[in-house]
């Protein structure tokens, strides 16, 4: 499927409505036992939300990489990190450079996992670690907005790699699996005006891939449900994968 999202528009909406998950940052720090002097790369950093949270927690040896020029510009303005424009095809960093690489909600944008993990293996120090946050196919099926936009499930199950495939390719490229765990699975989530605005402004990339007809129809269904007040739904969570360079 050809993805035709306008990144200039998406970057603005993303930055305005999407925030870093602070608990996820804390989970990464604990899981990786991150020292404050560690060289950390946010791979697919977007507008720098996660880098900013690491700065707030006292980390200052931070780097970001994103293929969107617009997002790189915003990340540079928001943080003091070194931000580079690039992708998994050509990663503009030296060999054996990073202690840790964080990849949050990004790995599904990359079709060629071998190119990704070969590139990460090159820039990661020996015993360096990779922290990946993504979703399994089961978690995608259970998303809150799936009932309003049914096509998102089919589209994103095609875009998201199977968890075992991610692990197997990583291991074939020189990494060892340390841990794979669920994160916030089946936790309560408040569906309210704030959530409605996230959807309305297409702050989730997948919503930009829908037809205008399906998107508008889904918005009306969500709006009607909220006429009766806010409600609690189940957040399906994420899958966290921690790898170490052999």
Tell me the pLDDT band of 5, cut-offs 50, 70 and 90.
Answer: low
Q: Please indicate, yes or no, if residue 98 is contained in any of the structural domains.
A: yes
Residue 159 lies in a domain: yes
Q: What is the pTM of this model?
A: 0.94
Residue 22 lies in a domain: yes
1 has a pLDDT exceeding 50: no
Q: Per the domain annotation, does 221 fall within a domain?
A: no
Tens digit of each residue's pLDDT (9 = 90 or more) over 113-130: 999 999 999 999 999 999
Residue-wise pLDDT tens digits, 14-57: 888 889 999 999 999 999 999 999 999 999 999 999 999 999 99
How far, in Å, CA of 100 to CA of 36, rounded? 12
Contacts of residue 169, defined as CB under 8 A and 6 or more positions apart, other chains included, come to 113, 114, 117
Q: Which of 2-11, 41-50, 178-187, 215-224 has the lowest mean pLDDT?
A: 2-11
* pLDDT at residue 2, rounded to an integer: 42
pLDDT > 90? residue 236: yes
Torsion sign over Cα 116, 121, 123, 124: positive
**Does a structural domain hold residue 2?**
no
* Distance, CA of 108 to CA of 135 (rounded, Å): 9
The residue-averaged pLDDT of 64-71 equals 95
Q: Is residue 211 part of a domain?
A: no
Residue 197 belongs to a domain: no
CATH of the domain at 43: 3.40.50.150
Give me the number of domains the chain comprises.
Answer: 1
Structural domain that includes position 88:
7-185+237-245
Q: Is 131 inside a domain boundary?
A: yes
Instruction: Dig out the tokens for 28 from the structure.
Output: 């990464």
CA neighbor of 86 nearest in space, from 104, 107, 64 = 64
pLDDT of residue 16: 85
């Amino acid at each position: 499927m050809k993805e035709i999202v306008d990144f200039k528009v998406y970057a603005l909406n993303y930055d305005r409505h999407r925030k870093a998950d602070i608990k996820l940052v804390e989970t990464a720090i604990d899981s990786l036992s991150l020292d404050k002097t560690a060289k950390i790369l946010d791979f697919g950093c977007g507008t720098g939300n996660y880098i900013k949270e690491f700065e707030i927690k006292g980390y200052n040896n931070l780097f970001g990489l994103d293929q969107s020029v617009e997002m790189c510009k915003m990340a540079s303005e928001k943080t003091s990190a070194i931000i580079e424009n690039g992708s998994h095809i050509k990663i503009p960093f030296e060999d054996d450079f990073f202690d840790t690489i964080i990849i949050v909600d990004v790995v599904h944008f990359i079709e060629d996992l071998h190119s990704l993990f070969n590139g990460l293996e090159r820039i990661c120090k020996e015993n360096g670690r990779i922290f990946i946050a993504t979703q399994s196919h089961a978690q995608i099926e259970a998303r809150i907005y799936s009932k309003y936009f049914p096509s998102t499930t089919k589209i994103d199950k095609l875009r998201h790699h199977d968890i075992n495939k991610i692990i197997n390719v990583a291991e074939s490229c020189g990494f060892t699996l340390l841990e794979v765990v669920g994160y916030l699975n089946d936790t309560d989530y408040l569906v309210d005006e704030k959530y409605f605005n996230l959807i309305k402004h297409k702050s989730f990339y997948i919503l930009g891939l829908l037809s205008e007809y399906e998107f508008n129809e889904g918005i009306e269904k969500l709006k009607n449900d909220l006429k009766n007040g806010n409600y609690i739904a189940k957040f399906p969570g994420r899958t966290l994968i921690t790898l170490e360079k052999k």
